[in-house]
Structure 1
Amino acid sequence: MEATYFFDPACPFTWRTSRWLLAVAESRDITIHWRAFSLSILNGDNVPEQYRPMMAASTKALRLVEALRADRRDATIGAFYTEIGNRTHEAGAFLTDEIVLEAAAAAGVADAKAVLDDPAWDESVRSSHETGFAAAGPGIGSPVLMIEGAERGLHGPIIGEVPAHDESLAIWDAVVPLMRSGVFFELKRGRG
């Protein structure tokens, strides 16, 4: 099965969901395609000052995501995102330009700095973001999950932590038929 995961690397909930998706991918024979989803584009200028440097670093990371996608390097995108998440979400640190560059190097991306600093990739990021948003929106954020056989994507699933393997598989097995339903829209409960 093919799954496309639209993500913003700065979002901790998106990180957890990506780890869940990776945990079920092998057991359910899922091929993951990684795409950019920009919280900066989504929120525009409505970003508190203390988060602006993190969002700027995320913008650079998403440029590299789309450049790698253009080269059909999903495995490298996955490795790059893993390196970012380990350095930020797992380490309790905010995303920075330095972390993005370190993560790219650790994922084996040569000469990443040229792409990170190239605003020519911003249109590809915007296009990817708009594709993800159109698939699951309105009123959504990062992440967006799309699977083959489903007309629309889904925002989420949003999880508080990555569950044990059996529970991860049960969530996947519940999400797939909901996504493929033409009448299903939303399940939600408050975070607590």
Structure 2
Amino acid sequence: MSETASPAPKTPVDFWFDPVCPWAWMTSRWVLEVEKVRDIEIHWHVMSLAVLNEDRLDELPEEYARNMRPGGSTWAPVRVVTAAQQLYGDEAVGRLYTALGTRFHNQRLGVNRDSIAAALADAGLPADLIDHSDKDTYDTELRASHKEGIDKVGQEVGTPVIAVPGPDGTEVAFFGPVVTPAPQGEHAARLWDGTLAVASVPGFYELKRTRTKGPDFSNL
């Protein structure tokens, strides 16, 4: 009697995002495309642009800084996602992120209470989660998740952060990839394969060029 071979384990991908960041949104849609063509398992985590920038708000453009300050619009979505994770588990995070990002970025409905409420309904989550928009109930957990991601890459970066297995199995984390529009199909797979390739090189840190266009959501 022959034994059935166990399926190979999926490659884990840890992904840190702030729902309001259009570049993180683009990268997240790429990772979901990769999931269709490569055996990966995505683990979603929150990070916060407001937390990242809280010690240098005076250096930022005023409108951007105003959104980052306590009570600013940047805090509400990440607090709601954190509350969803704490109360309903990790599986809720990816669902809610997709619902929020679709409204914020694809549909351009704005980062506001109405968009968040509609996203909760889209994700099949309780409407009262919106009450966490302006509550600090889970800010300790939010900051811990943020710290876990940013500690892997350093303070000089933003969102997204992804972590993939390196050559010896330990995680290697990067800011990015920053790409627009989100690659699909085989293009998505090739970028993924390249990400694993650079992660396999000891001492690899950065590959970068100046962005010449803004986020393009036309294929999402």
> TM-score by structure 2 length?
0.79
Query: Match for 1:64 among 80, 91, 97?
Result: 80
Q: 1:171 aligns with which of 188, 191, 194?
A: 191
2 CA distance for matches of 1:152 and 1:42?
Answer: 20
Q: In the aligned structure 1, how far is the partner of 2:32 from the partner of 2:176?
A: 14
The residue number in structure 1 matching 2:24 is 14
Greater share of helix: 1
Q: After TM superposition, give the deviation of residue 54 of structure 1 in Å.
A: 7.8
8 Å contact from structure 1 (residues 4, 34) kept in 2: yes
Deviation at 1:66?
Answer: 2.4
Q: Identify if the C-alpha distance between structure 1 residues 30 and 53 changes in structure 2 by more than 3 Å, giving closer, same or farther.
A: same
Partner of 2:3: none
Cα 1:28–1:74 shift into 2, 3 Å: farther
Match in the other structure for 1:79: 95
Matched, 1:126 2:143: yes
**Cα shift at 1:62:** 1.5
Compare CA radii of gyration and give the structure with the larger one: 2
Alpha-carbon distance in 1 for matches of 2:51, 2:100? 20
TM-score (norm 1): 0.89
Give the number of equivalent residue pairs: 192
Deviations 1:76-121 (A, max 9, x none): 2112111111111112343112211221122111121233343021
Whether the 8 Å contact between 2:104 and 2:111 is mirrored in structure 1 is yes
The residue that corresponds to 2:37 in the other structure is 27
Moved over 4 A (4+): none
* 1:31-90 deviation line (CA, Å, top 9, x unaligned): 111111111111122454434348733322222322333357333211211111111111
User: What SS does the corresponding residue of 2:14 show, helix, strand or coil?
Assistant: strand
CA contact (8 A) 1:54 1:94 kept: no
Please tell me the root mean square deviation across aligned C-alpha atoms, in Å. Answer: 2.1
Matched letter for residue 43 of structure 1: N
Q: What does residue 6 of structure 2 align with? A: none
Structure 2: give runs of 5+ residues left out of the alignment: 1-10, 213-220
Percent of residue pairs bearing the same amino acid type: 34
- Distance (whole Å) between structure 2 residues aligned to residue 71 and residue 28 of structure 1: 31
